[in-house]
Amino acid sequence: MTIDVDPKPALRLTRDRVRDRLTFPARHFLERGFSRKILDSFDVGYSAKRDRIVVPLYDEEGIHCIGDTFRSYKPPCGTCRKHHDPGVPCKYGQQKWGIMRGFAKRAYLYNYAAALRADSPFVFLVEGPPDVWRLGEAGYVGVALLGSSMTDEQHRKQWPSTRRS
């Protein structure tokens, strides 16, 4: 018996549509020393609707956004370990990072499309999008797991035969 899994992602937005939803630059990451240029190239912006920084997740062609990951820009709370402004009750705390519900992150590598096209003999494997941006600023190409452990699906991703990841 085979089990059907709907291969179509729920979200499928062009880059223009993605950028229409967001405000640039994402001040939180500018303050953490990322350049406007690198944040802009990855379409990292602020979403008023979510009240978080949004990091769009593009498909393997790098054309359509198929999901979002979010970063709270609020300060961490020592009591609940979530993120919220001082004086705001802990129940309103946000996780530091979140991801769109139902996103197939186990089979996803952030920046994979660009890494496939990059003229580089190797690709760094890192944990999160900010690590990919740091590498980009230094002239290197990275892909991120969106977590700290690699899944079998991520491990099986195809690379050109000349490339060692």
- Binding-site ranges for Zn ion (CB under 5 A): 77, 79-80, 90, 93
Nearer to Zn ion, 72 or 111 (CB): 72
| Main-chain dihedrals φ then ψ at residue 36, nearest 5 degrees | -55, -40
| Main-chain dihedrals φ then ψ at residue 63, nearest 5 degrees | -105, -45
- The end-to-end CA distance of the chain, in Å, is 35
Nearer to Zn ion, 63 or 80 (CB): 80
In whole angstroms, how close is the CB of 86 to Zn ion at the nearest point? 9
In whole angstroms, how close is the CB of 92 to Zn ion at the nearest point? 8
The single-letter DSSP state of residue 156 is T
In whole angstroms, how close is the CB of 142 to Zn ion at the nearest point? 32
Angle at the Cα of 145 from the Cα atoms of 29 and 107, rounded to 5 degrees: 130
Nearer to Zn ion, 86 or 160 (CB): 86
SS3 of 78, please? coil
Nearer to Zn ion, 67 or 93 (CB): 93
Nearest residue to Zn ion, using CB?
A: 77
In whole angstroms, how close is the CB of 80 to Zn ion at the nearest point? 3
d(CA 42, CA 13): 14
